[in-house]
Amino acid sequence: MNDTVSPSMSRSLPVLTLSAESRKRRARLHPWVFSNEIQKAPQLAPGSLVLLKFPAGSDCWTAYYNPHSLIAARILGDGECRIDAAWMSRKIAHAIAYRKALALPREAIRLVHGEADGLPGLVIDSYGPHLVLQSLTAGMDALLPLVVEALCEQISPKGILARCDSEVRSLEGLDSDTRMLQGGLEKSIEVMCHGLRFELNLLESQKTGLYLDQMENHAVLARFASGADALDVCCYTGSCSFFMKKGGAGTVLGIDCSAAAIEQARRNAELNGMSEVTFEIADAFDRLKSLVQSGRQFDLINLDPPPFAKRRKDLDNALRGYRELNRRAFRLLKPGGILATSTCSHHIAPEIFLEMLTLAARDSMRQARVIEVRQQASDHPWLLAAPETRYLCCAILQVD
């Protein structure tokens, strides 16, 4: 259904005039407008709905606006749209229908993935009957009552938890906020993913609970696990460790610097009857260094560190960190061993990441061939028009 309405049907929206600098981005259909692309920006409350126009021409776009953010406007639709309960219901229904069509073998699924689902600044993950959402912008904060109404209408969840505690909110001038939006929440829940059981505390875990964006990559990596001596670096609560064991690994060692994550990983090992999977609380750089010094080697390594480049200005330092960590991983691999290595920073494009890996392999005097270069899971789609929404790159390599 077309969301565009005539001006007579829509409440009057403030008009923001776009500068000539924004024409290239608009022609590309990019959903963001930066602060320097708006002429004479008016003083409006953060999150206000606006109409974007060029000085001449009839094209316009409905967006929400934040005068305090570098990304000043995020587009909700072409033309002048009525942003109401019916509009939100259609958006949510479309996002849910796509996930149902994927038929993923897991109870934990991303239902809404921001810009890729036409709902910029909104993330919703489903853990069985429980929903966890993140609102990252002032504009989406203002639309949350419509989001909750649509979710209750279409899913009837037991509870909707807002985990609006991402650092990204500070860029919008927003405080952290964690609260129940609807229903209640059990302190500990359990979900099944790819035949594995995961216990999690939705109130205290990182992000929304599990790193769902890597689930499909872990399932692929498990194909190489038969008989392997495996290492899972930055393992969080053990997802990849369990996939590798399920794939037939002989031994699996998971390491993470978070004591809480390791405690949860050990409980998940018990849930899955995988006592052979062991976990250590350790800094990734230090532990890999000590393993190299001890002469220990592995057949299979998964390396999934946190984003080292949260801002563009951090890029050079981040690449040095990634290079050192991967250099140590290369040295730990037996000949013919497999390395799955990832970055989840959208500032590091796949070609930059692969060039860094080339240098790390050279530093280690190891020849590496690329088996596959993967991205975030299929329930985390990204927009061709906005490469920033492709934030995860996972390279699977074999080392001579």
DSSP, residue by residue, 76-125 = EEEBSB--SHHHHHHHHHHHHHHHHHHT-SBSEEEEEEGGGGT-TTEEEE
Where does 184-271 show beta strands of DSSP type E?
A: 189-193, 196-200, 229-233, 251-256
Query: What's the Rg (C-alpha) of the chain?
Result: 23
Where does 297-361 show beta strands of DSSP type E?
A: 298-303, 333-343
**For residue 298, how far is the Cα from the chain centroid?**
28
- Residues 194/105, Cβ–Cβ less than 8 Å: yes
Helices 138-154 + 85-102 axis angle, to 10: 70
Tally of residues, the chain: 400
Number of C-alpha atoms within 13 angstroms, CB side, residue 176? 6
What's the first-to-final CA gap in the chain, in angstroms? 55
Phi, psi at 129, each rounded to 5°: -85, 0
Closest CA to 114 of 134, 141, 94: 134
60 catalytic? Reply is: no
SS3 sequence, 148-206?
A: HHHHHHHCCCCEEEEEECCHHHHHHCCCCEEEEEEECCCCCEEEEECCEEEEECCCCCC
Select which of 60, 164, 240, 344 is catalytic: 344
Q: Give the residue numbers annotated as catalytic, written as ranges.
A: 344
